[in-house]
Amino acid sequence: MRRKLAAGNWKMNGTGEALTALEAIAGAHPAATVDLLICPPATLLYRAAQAVSGSRVRIGGQDCHAANAGAHTGDIGASMLADAGASAVILGHSERRADHGETDAQVCDKARAALEAGLIAIICIGETLAQREAGQTLDVVCAQLAGSVPDGIDGTQVVIAYEPVWAIGTGLVPTLDQIAEVHDTLRQQLIGRFGSETAEAIRLLYGGSVKPGNAAEIFAVSNVDGALVGGASLTAADFSPIVTALEQAAG
Ligand code: PEP
């Protein structure tokens, strides 16, 4: 059985005072029955990991370099994230693909580095609105999945986040049927490539405007193993009900 995961992506938000929100999230779920992860900006990683030490919340990065160390000014290696207290890293988020031109091949290299450093790799994929309207969604996400996930993986260490670009931060959400269609297709592609045992261990998150008001219905969709949450992960008031909805879906 895949353990459900509620992951928060704080993006480029938060200085020291944001640690109180993190502590409130951890304090609200002392006996969480699902995995909880918050990915703060890199500047907060170490303090965040200290702040949630002993709680059910784990800390993750938002990107890493494909190399472990070297002459890459401004970048962070996966083992550095682990050293700072991270246990996971988000890779290939659409904002990084758009802002930094990250390709599937680069995301794949980063994922390999993350896995080698002992981090869980949360690999993001998703179509733009133009691609959805052109009927290309399944082709796009399948190509991204094929290109962004390395060979020879342990399924428990890889998480795929399906995040339609047009749903991120917009309040727009695909229909439940549209989410199911993508997630079922991704699962089938993973089974075809890695075999059932590995593929069934890979968690598939939905991401894009998940809020307390829509979380429960999204978590009831087949092959949705949790959520990657942006804006609604910044406060316990928003994130906590999403965690509770996921716990209820887990049964
Ligand atoms: C995200 O940034 O990964 C995301 C899903 O953002 P939001 O929940 O704000 O749409």
233 lines ligand 1 (CB under 6 A): no
pLDDT per position as a tens digit, 99-127 = 999 999 999 999 999 999 999 999 999 99
Q: What angle do CA 173, 238, 123 make, to 5 degrees?
A: 55
Contact present, 90 and 133 (Cβ < 8 Å) = no
- pLDDT exceeding 70 applies to what percent of the chain? 100
Q: Which residue has its alpha carbon closest to ligand 1 atom 8?
A: 230
Q: What is the rounded distance in angstroms from the CA atom of residue 205 to the CA atom of residue 87? A: 17
Q: Determine whether 163 is an active site residue.
A: yes
pLDDT per position as a tens digit, 132-167 = 999 999 999 999 999 999 999 999 999 999 999 999
Q: What is the rounded distance in angstroms from the CA atom of residue 174 to the CA atom of residue 208? A: 9
From the candidates 29, 93, 102, 183, give the one annotated as an active-site residue: 93
Q: What is the rounded distance in angstroms from the CA atom of residue 129 to the CA atom of residue 166? A: 5
Q: Determine whether 93 is an active site residue.
A: yes
From the candidates 95, 102, 127, 163, give the one annotated as an active-site residue: 163
pLDDT per position as a tens digit, 222-240 = 999 999 999 999 999 999 9
